[in-house]
Amino acid sequence: MTLAVPDRATVDAVLTPDVPTAPLARSVNFIRIKPGRFEEFIALQSAHLERIRGTVPGVVGGRMFIAPERSVVVLVSAFDTAEHAQSFRGDPRFVEHLERAGALIESTEAMPVELAYEIGVI
């Protein structure tokens, strides 16, 4: 019996998930919450997510990270295209959410970003 060792390309093909290689439109938002308003912000954000879940064209996914002091959140969003991201920013549900959340936010900084590298699943 002969044991054949696969070449690197074969291993990569087996281990690499079958995902589209088109670049995604990603954005990162740093949001500083007003003192004493963190729990209210999280509740509002969670309700908004439940209201729009599965209804936004082109959304690939998102993550919200919470700083240990519970005064800052980082939102990372990904869309199929920049046009999908732009369309969502104009969605009346999102606009209304921003108006409601504005009273709870001290400051925010948003920026589109490009993927530099990726390791694992986040």
Residues 6+ apart with CB under 8 A from 30: 72, 74, 108, 109, 110
pLDDT at 106 over 60: yes
**Confidence at residue 122, expressed as pLDDT on a 0 to 100 scale:** 73
Q: List, for residues 41-83, the tens digit of each pLDDT value.
A: 999 999 999 999 999 999 999 999 999 999 999 999 999 999 9
**Confidence at residue 13, expressed as pLDDT on a 0 to 100 scale:** 56
pTM above 0.85, yes or no: no
**Confidence at residue 75, expressed as pLDDT on a 0 to 100 scale:** 95
**Confidence at residue 5, expressed as pLDDT on a 0 to 100 scale:** 60
**Confidence at residue 3, expressed as pLDDT on a 0 to 100 scale:** 54
pLDDT at 15 over 90: no
* Segment (H or E) for 43: helix 38-52
Nearest to 33 by CA among 81, 74, 61, 91: 74
